[in-house]
Structure 1
Amino acid sequence: MAKWGEGDPRWIVEERADATNVNNWHWTERDATNWSQEVLNEFLLKVRVEGEEGVCQITDVSKIDGEASINNRKGKLIFFYEWSIQATWTGTSKNGIKYKGNIEIPNLSDENDMDDLDISITACKDQPPTSLTALMKKKGEKEIKLALASYIAHLKREFSQGMILPTADEVDKQQQQARTKVKIDTTKIQSSTIVKSSSTGVIIPTVTFILKETFLSSPEELYNVFLKQEMVQGFTRLAAFVEGERGGKFRLLEGNVQGEFAELVPDKKIVMKWRFAAWPAGHYSTVTLNFIDRGQETQLTLEAKGVPTSEEERMKEGWQRYYFDAIKQTFGYGARIY
């Protein structure tokens, strides 16, 4: 038996920032089933192919049975997922005739490579023969595999965050960096704080910053750009999911940005719970957009609170490039930088 004070260091909780699961030694598990079902449904409904025969797309996902989870043991991440999926595809021929068919994927799992995946694509029994079935088998199957591969990539990126937690020394180092980093200028204001992630219990150094930008548009026009799904897809140039209402969710840039709308004041203010997918699971910043009418221009003031210190510059650059600059270029709202 080890003497007092000489026990296995894996059990000395004082060396952990959250006083649990020392050195990531114990088995921990997170369930990803509900999240996976939503993402699989979302990605599969985006599948659409076009050819000389016409246009085909998945119009309904009727069954997603199975489970998904991620496990951590001795600092190693183990992903488990097993799904049986059924969906419906609809095709429209060049002469406007519509056809329907079925899709079955019985063995999407961590044990099978994408090349080994069984995808059955058939026409409904009551449908006449159509070349659209061949189109779905040739092009549609490839798009389905891409959608499923995107799901797996998102699963690993989303649920690996927070599973291997920082040590106390690492957190102390981050806190010291936060205390010594202070930047104030006429366009950007920031402050350092320390917050505790609700999902992991790990203390995360955060900052607050402010950005200002001027757009050649009315407050109403600019306000709608952030809430209407078709406009968001326009300036991001990618498929997006946006529920433009209080409590509504959003997912942009292939899932790399996500959150929900916490408060909406028409044409004046938008408050979002906003995060990069790579942030620790459950951690959001609070982003407030204020729209100020300047006559023929609108001044947009962004305040972001609770931003992980290490992500500050990335988030600033992302808003400038993928929001501000992209909106100006897409909708012609270009104006001088405030």
Structure 2
Amino acid sequence: MAKWGEGDPRWIVEERPDATNVNNWHWTEKNASPWSQERIKELFNDIPIKTDEADIKITAVDKLEGEASANNRKGKLIFFYEWDIVLKWSGKLKNGTDREFSGTIKIPNLSEENDVSELDIQVSVKDEDEEGFKLKQIMLKSSKDVVREQLGKYIAGLKEEFSKGMILPKKGETKPDGIKILASGFNKKVSMEPVVNSKKPTLGLKIDTTTIKQTHKFQCTAQEFYDALTRIEMVTAFTRGAVKLDPTKGGKFELFGGNIVGTFDELVPAKKIVKQWRYKQWPEGHFSTVTLDINQKSDHTEVTLEQAGVPSAEAEVTKENWQRYYWDAMKQAFGFGVFFT
């Protein structure tokens, strides 16, 4: 990233001695995972299930995997959470043999993508004989509303707790020399007045272009990498801003405040993505063709990018920004860059 007074002005971020997040422009993020883990465990500690047929309770959290964060971008709060949860339960029939049974309740995908009322809640019992099966059916009927209620409390608490201090008062100031903060780059800021060109690019103007080729390794499955570029909540997580995304053939996308736009030409899950892709500052109407070949190996996924039709003058900057704003950002957001030797 260029510093104030250095390098290409399109990629400058102004330094401020007070480090103030002016007008909430900067991306700010709070890690909500430790708080979430404690809160979820608390919400499912010895929770009774009310039913006339049995004495049952959810005893504890058996397994909890995932993450949560709260993010502020330009004054807009974005909450990202994704958890796989396994709960333990125990109980016995009121008119049975007084045997104690135990089992699990699985919630495989608690995330902002899924409404709590639509969650897939799976109940199992350790000993599924006649009494065990009956107790399992009672749990299926009686526990789901309780589980959903407790998860609703978690989500409400997450948003309340991590909204505090995320939105700062707007300064409402401009620099004495009239410099304004404008969007540019993929998702960075320009600290300069824009040069307004009233002349439209001449249609049919020949553009000197080149092809970019890159190969990268990611510590994830091919499907996970494909999902990171086609699921809106995952794209939002690594681009850290508002996203428009329609991952279908002919569907449009818009990222980084509208600086990157395009349409999908081909989508083969876990295998390939082809899209028409352009950067806002390129000549009007000019698109490149991006082809991503996704190849899962035994212990990692190898991705080859080929981008044809990149304006030659923009080739190096485009390479650098694929690395910074896509690959590095994805590795940081999802842990795709952690390799063990």
TM-score, L = length of structure 2 = 0.43
Q: Which has the larger radius of gyration?
A: 2
Q: Which has the higher helix share?
A: 1
